[in-house]
Structure 1
Amino acid sequence: MMNSMNVRRRRPVSETQAQGRSGSSQASEEDGGRQFIGALARGLEVLSAFRENDRQLGNHELAERTGISKPTVSRITYTLTQLGYLVHSPRFNTYELGGKSFALGHVALASLDVREVAKDLMTDIATRTGLTVSLAVRDKLSMLNLEAQDSDELVGIRLYPGSRVPIVNTAGGRAYLAVASEDDRQEIFEGVKDSYGEEWPSLLRAVDRAALEIKKRGFCMCIGDWRKDVNSAGAVIEMPDGRGIYSLNVGGPAYLVPQEDIEMTVGPMLAEAADEMRRRLGCEV
């Protein structure tokens, strides 16, 4: 006989609840297994229930739209309100999207705009130089690539959206540090310095040189600091209204792109592309 303590019983799901759930949510529950967090998914479903012309919605309406039980919806809306993703109206006992929800939307739109603007410029650089071009943002203690454009050459750096590279010893990371706030810089430095050991003082000097290069020429160079056989250049795009800092990077094997080429040809080309991105995005150039 099976031990009843080891058997988990699933509550029956009503037909109304089943129909209310989106197909994507059901697929995620089936495919995600242990990695799938149901409570988080239900919270996101509640946020997704708000539509373009909605002003305020009550728990009853949200329960109908999501297929989630009203008591559960009530707990979710309370939690989202406490976190700033919803705003509660005591008079009508309804909810509307809060500041944090709008902030997420602005970040997503800004990222989309930047990626779309960057694509043709990245393709042009990759075609002209035969090198790999990437667009990245800081994510904690690394740079996260949002877009990557390889050339038609058979050799080069292979990057892809979602791949990560270090901050302090890459051209793109140093370009980011050139305009980052002092608080952000110190947070990064404190987080990574122990992993570099005796190299750390020289890396800090290289970061400072890169900041001067960005200010003077619009790009910085990284000659064999990330990988001994890789040279690269980085430029930075700082969005208005604090909407993000993006680095534009180009690099490849040192035998294909020696330091002289980075300094005289590839770097200036990258700086021009960064200037064009700023113009298209309405940033100061």
Structure 2
Amino acid sequence: MTTSATDRRAGQVAAEQNDRHFVTALARGLEVLACFRSGDALLGNQDIAQRCGLPKSTVSRLTATLTRMGYLIHVRESSKYRLGTATLSLGSAMLARLDVRQVARPLMQELADFARAEVSLGTRDRFSMIYVENCRSQAPHALSLDVGSRISLTTSAMGRAWLAAAPARERTELLAQIQQRNETRWPALQQGLDQALQDYRSLGVATSFGEWQKKVNAIARSFQPGGGLPPMVINCGGRASQVSQELLLGEVRPRLIEIVARIETALYR
């Protein structure tokens, strides 16, 4: 069992013990579905067991049940699973109700075309950021990311902007969990996060210049979408060979800040 899986299971066990309304079987089934990530074609029971931190026998029962309900599809040739169409209906229903996507998309595309970059809208899901909208320019060599993609919470500009906007108590608790999961990397991660919070206060955006991926630059700004939704973030970035730090901070940054303000104004009318 991996360290992250162990930590996740420990947290779940604590929740089960402390909350009589917690339905263990439901939580485990949802964990199985959540372990499928963008880019995963097929996963076997052993893969799922490692990611979820559950016994393989438990996972086998869960995948059999989820397959019968249409949430997973069993591929006989490989004895592995892919997400089923029932999960598509859940995701589509959720995305269709995100008014912020309709408001943000034309402004995001405008910025992507100006910067010849990629502009994305995302929010936090546990220890990563997940894309809920994505716009690309026509420039070649775009990043291979789309709706549903997950990126780092700690090293990406999007994740850092989310942390900068999070309530102090929530941020402190989350960072403590991240530290437990990344003891050896924590000093470097903390240094980057401290700088990111300082950047956000002074520049109005979080930055990541070669820290999420070595040859990728990005800046991001968070906002409150309202409607009971958690903070969301708009990120602009691309390959460093095409999207320089100077371009992002000098020309893109004021436009990103303006776009986020326009989105908030439109949402709160």
**Which of 241, 262, 269 is residue 276 of structure 1 equivalent to?**
262
* Mapping for residues 203-242 of structure 1, pairs under 5 Å: 203-240=189-226, 242=228
Which string of whole-angstrom CA distances, capped at 9 and with x for unpartnered residues, describes residues 54-95 of structure 1? xxxxxxxxxxxxxxxxxxxxxxxxxxxxxxxxxxxxxxxxxx
Percent identity between the aligned chains? 31
Distance 1:225 1:215 in 2: 20
With a CA cutoff of 8 Å and minimum separation of 6, indicate the structure with the bigger relative contact order. 2
**Paired residue secondary structure (1:252):** strand
**Paired residue secondary structure (2:131):** strand
Q: Is the 8 A contact 2:100 2:225 kept in 1?
A: no
Distance 2:226 2:66 in 1: 37
Q: Is the 8 A contact 2:158 2:220 kept in 1?
A: yes
Distance 2:197 2:169 in 1: 16
Stretch deviating more after TM superposition (151-160 or 114-123): 151-160
Distance 2:153 2:68 in 1: 31
1:214 Cα deviation (Å)?
Answer: 2.4
Calculate the aligned-residue CA RMSD, in Å.
Answer: 2.9
**Which of 100, 104, 111 is residue 118 of structure 1 equivalent to?**
104
**Which of 93, 100, 115 is residue 129 of structure 1 equivalent to?**
115
Distance 1:200 1:142, change over 3 A: same
Amino acid at match of 2:167: S
Stretch deviating more after TM superposition (234-243 or 140-149): 234-243
Amino acid at match of 1:218: G
1:34 Cα deviation (Å)?
Answer: 4.5
Distance 1:215 1:241 in 2: 26
**Paired residue secondary structure (1:255):** coil
* Mapping for residues 162-181 of structure 1, pairs under 5 Å: 162-181=148-167
* Mapping for residues 1-285 of structure 1, pairs under 5 Å: 34-36=65-67, 38=69, 112-194=98-180, 196-240=182-226, 242-282=228-268
Give the TM-score normalised by the residue count of structure 2.
Answer: 0.62
1:75 aligned residue: none
Aligned residues: 187
Distance 1:276 1:37, change over 3 A: farther
- Structure 2: which 5+ runs fail to align? 1-62, 72-92
Q: Is the 8 A contact 1:221 1:262 kept in 2?
A: no
1:69 aligned residue: none
Distance 1:273 1:109, change over 3 A: same
- Structure 1: which 5+ runs fail to align? 1-31, 41-106
Distance 1:37 1:182 in 2: 43
**Paired residue secondary structure (2:122):** strand
Distance 1:239 1:147 in 2: 14
Distance 1:138 1:110 in 2: 18
1:276 Cα deviation (Å)?
Answer: 1.1
Distance 1:266 1:174 in 2: 18
**Paired residue secondary structure (1:168):** coil
Which string of whole-angstrom CA distances, capped at 9 and with x for unpartnered residues, describes residues 163-205 of structure 1? 1001010000000000112343234324433554544223223
Which string of whole-angstrom CA distances, capped at 9 and with x for unpartnered residues, describes residues 183-231 of structure 1? 4323432443355454422322322222233233321211111011110
Distance 2:111 2:177 in 1: 33
Distance 1:276 1:110, change over 3 A: farther
